[in-house]
Amino acid sequence: MLIGVFIAPVSNVWAQIQTSGFSVLQLDASARSAALAGSTTALRESNGSVLFSNPALLTPRADRRLAFSYLNHISNINAGWLSYARQLDSLGTVAVGLRYLSFGSFDELDQQGVKTGTFGASDIAISIGAARSWRNVWSYGAALHLTRSAIASNSASATAIDAGIVYDNPTSRSTFSASVHNLGIVLSSVGTRADKLPLDFRIGLTQKLAYLPLLISITAYRLHELDGGDPENGSFSAVLNHVKLAGEFQFSESFQVRFGYDHRKHQDLKIKSRLDMAGFSTGLGLVIAKIGFDYSFNSWSSLGSLHRFSIVSSL
C-alpha cells in the first residue's frame, strides 16, 4: 500500500527514467552534464564530478577540486551531488563522491483512505574511484558505488561498479571513450519484485572544431538494450533513442554556452503536438575569482522545467 501511494504522485514526473531501481544512479551529476543532455562520457572536466559520468575521465587537473551540484526537480523532488579529487602518485587520480535524491514527503493512508501519518522516500549513493593515464593519450579508470533506496521503513541496497577507457587524439582534437555503468549486485529489494540496477553500456566522442570555438559531443548509450522505442516513429527515431547530442561554445576558459538534445526524453515527455521542447537543454558556465559556476535548464514540456546549479572550487 505504501508503495502504491508513493508512486501515484510522481509516476508522470519520473517517466523518463528507465524501469529499474536506484534512480539516483541515473541522474546527471552536474549542471554542465545536464546542459549537455548527459552527453559527457568522453568529456574531460577538471573536477571530480566526472567520477559519476566516466571514472576514466579523472585527471591530475582535478587535484584538490571540490564540486557541489543541486537540482530543484518537479513535484518537490530535489537532489544533490558532492565530489572531491586528489592526485596520488601511487594510485593516480582518486575521487570520492556522494549522491542524494529525495522524493519529498507523502501521506500514508489506511484501507479506508484515512490519513494515518506521513512517510518519505529517498536514494543515496557513496562512490570512490580512480584513474590512471598510459602513454599520455590513453586513460583508464573504475569506480565503486554503494547505494540504498528507501520508501518509509522499507529499503533496498546494491553495490555496483563503473569502468571505462578514454583515448585522446591531440592531432584531430578529438576524444573517444567506452564505458560500462552500474554493473553489480542487488543485495536487497523493496517489496516482492526484485529491484534492478540501471545497467548501461556507452561509447562517446567529443570533437573540437578547428575554426570555431565549439566542442561537439555525441554519446551512444543503453547499447546493451537496443529497444529503439516506439516502432511507429520510424528507424531514424529508433537510432536517436540511443544517442545524446550536445555542443559547447568555449568562448574562453571563463565563459561557455551549452546546449543538448536527448531524443528518448523528448519522446517520453512530449505533450504538445508542435514545438514541444521536452528533451532540449541549455546552460552556461562562468569562472569568477577561480570559482566555477554552472547553470542548466532542461525542459520537461508542460510538466515544467528543471534548474540545476553547480559550484567548483579548489581546497
Helices (H), 108-251: 235-240
Residue 11: all three cell numbers together = 509516476
CATH of the domain at 142: 2.40.160.60
Mean pLDDT of all residues in 275-282: 86
Q: Is 173 helix (H, G, I), strand (E, B) or coil?
A: coil
Give the residue, 264 or 19, on which the prediction is more confident. Answer: 264
Range among 222-231, 243-252, 276-285 with highest mean pLDDT value: 243-252
Quote the pLDDT of residue 230. Answer: 63
Given pLDDT bands bounded at 50, 70 and 90, which one contains residue 273? low
Gap between the Cα atoms of 163 and 176, Å rounded: 14
What per-residue confidence (pLDDT) applies to 228? 62
* pLDDT for position 233: 66
Q: What is the pLDDT of residues 169-221, one digit of tens each?
A: 999 999 999 999 999 999 998 777 778 899 999 999 999 999 999 999 999 99
Q: Would you say residue 41 has pLDDT above 90? A: yes
Q: What does the pLDDT read at residue 11? A: 40
Percentage of residues in the chain having pLDDT higher than 70: 90
For residues 189 and 294, the model is more confident at: 294
Task: Tell me: pLDDT of 283 over 50.
Answer: yes
pLDDT at 88 over 80: yes
CA distance 119 to 106: 5
Q: What is the mean pLDDT of the chain?
A: 87
Q: How confident is the model at residue 132 (pLDDT cuts 50, 70, 90)?
A: very high
Q: Which of 54, 42, 25, 37 is nearest to 244 (CA)?
A: 37
**Res 91: pLDDT:** 86
Range of the domain at 186: 2-314
| Residues 57-73: tens digit of each pLDDT | 999 999 999 999 999 87
Say if residue 28 is exposed, middle or buried (CB neighbours under 10 Å; 0-12, 13-18, 19+).
buried
- Give the pLDDT score at 231: 64
Looking at residue 4, its pLDDT comes to 38
Assess contact for 155 and 165: CB atoms under 8 A.
no
Does residue 3 have a pLDDT over 70?
no
The total domain count for the chain is 1
Q: Which H helix or E strand runs over 138?
A: strand 138-151
| Alpha helices (H) along 157-280 | 235-240, 263-269
Is 74 or 243 the better-scoring residue by pLDDT? Answer: 243
pLDDT at residue 106, rounded to an integer: 72
User: What type of residue is 30?
Assistant: S
Query: What pLDDT band is residue 301 in, cutting at 50, 70 and 90?
Result: confident
